[in-house]
Amino acid sequence: MQWTDEGIVLGVKRHGESNVILELMTHERGRHLGLVRGGAGARLCGVLQPGNSLRATWRARLEEHLGHYVVEGINLRAAGFLGAAHAVHGVTHLAGLCRLLAEREPHVRIFGALEAILDAIDDPLAAAILIARFELAFLAELGFGLDLASCAATGATVDLIYVSPRSGRAVSRAAGEEYRDRLLRLPGFLQSEDEPTAAADLADAFALTGFFLERDAFSPRGLALPAERARFVAAIARSLAVTEPQHA
């Protein structure tokens, strides 16, 4: 068995003195593991960093075997993450989400979205917007997509500013006003790419996606929402606070 595909490094695990087990999110074959001989050595250490894009050839005698990878760097972007806390935490958080996906099942849309985030992750605002949207899409990929097209109570398709935590459906301003303390806020940028985004919108977005990720994706597996996600959100808040203009 042999194939070659493009993959994004999710993580590595030491295997013996000099080898590693490499975990990739591949374009055509989803999350896929394989052994890299000499992967712990200096020659490959910088290549096998989370967030890097590689061309990987996988070989095994049988399809169900772990197999071996031979890799070549395509975009070694991870070196640029080290100076930005939000980027380091963001990459770790994204890798953790991808580990909820079954191995060797294709998720082409997730791969494309992941690649787009990594290419923009040096910009805190862009990274935050893309990761919030990614979490929303990821819920849908797992079968827990939110219905944000129309109001659950009235069927209205405009002025949708809430989401019901029970049904995962949007609620309009008028229908939700009486129950606003029990509803989740729905920022406009999660519905339209043309909507401007403020820091408060990001906080609302991560509260929204975090609620459903914890309830539908992590809790059923006996897991808590990962601390790395909270570290990413906090790092974004710090970055945006520093870059916001100061007014007298």
Q: What is the pLDDT of residues 62-82, one digit of tens each?
A: 999 999 999 999 999 999 988
- The residue segments making up the domain with residue 105 are 85-148+186-243
Q: Which amino acid is at 63?
A: E
Are residues 8 and 65 located together in one domain of the fold? yes
Q: Residue 194: its pLDDT value, please?
A: 78
Are residues 104 and 207 located together in one domain of the fold? yes
- Give a yes or no: residue 166 inside a domain: no
Last residue of a domain, one of 41, 76, 111: 76
pLDDT band at 246 (very low <50, low <70, confident <90, very high): very low
Average pLDDT for residues 192-218, to the nearest whole number?
Answer: 92
Last residue of a domain, one of 76, 100, 128: 76
Q: Residue 248: its pLDDT value, please?
A: 37
DSSP string, 88-138: HHHHHHHHHHHTTSPBT---HHHHHHHHHHHHHTTSHHHHHHHHHHHHHHH
- Most confident option among 155-169, 188-202, 233-247: 155-169
Are residues 100 and 216 located together in one domain of the fold? yes
Task: Based on DSSP, count helices (H) and strands (E) in the chain, helices before strands.
Answer: 7, 8
Q: Residue 247: its pLDDT value, please?
A: 43
Q: Which of 58, 84, 60 is nearest to 6 (CA)?
A: 58
Domain holding 54: CATH number?
Answer: 2.40.50.140
Percent of the chain whose predicted confidence (pLDDT) is above 70: 97
- Give a yes or no: residue 159 inside a domain: no
Are residues 109 and 220 located together in one domain of the fold? yes
Average pLDDT for residues 213-236, to the nearest whole number?
Answer: 97
Mean pLDDT in the chain? 94
- Give a yes or no: residue 164 inside a domain: no
CA 164 – CA 48 distance, rounded (Å) = 42
CA 66 – CA 84 distance, rounded (Å) = 34
CA 33 – CA 208 distance, rounded (Å) = 32
pLDDT band at 241 (very low <50, low <70, confident <90, very high): confident
Q: Residue 38: its pLDDT value, please?
A: 95
How much is the pTM?
A: 0.93
- Give a yes or no: residue 167 inside a domain: no
Last residue of a domain, one of 76, 108, 134: 76
Q: Tell me the two tokens of residue 172.
A: 């309009």
Residue 14 has pLDDT above 70, yes or no: yes
Are residues 197 and 102 located together in one domain of the fold? yes
Are residues 125 and 45 located together in one domain of the fold? no
Rg of the chain over Cα atoms, rounded to whole angstroms, equals: 20
Are residues 194 and 118 located together in one domain of the fold? yes
Beta strands in the chain (DSSP E): 2-15, 19-26, 30-36, 53-59, 68-75, 160-163, 170-172, 184-185
Structurally, the chain folds into a number of domains equal to 2
Q: What is the pLDDT of residues 147-192, one digit of tens each?
A: 999 999 999 999 999 999 999 999 999 999 999 999 999 999 999 8
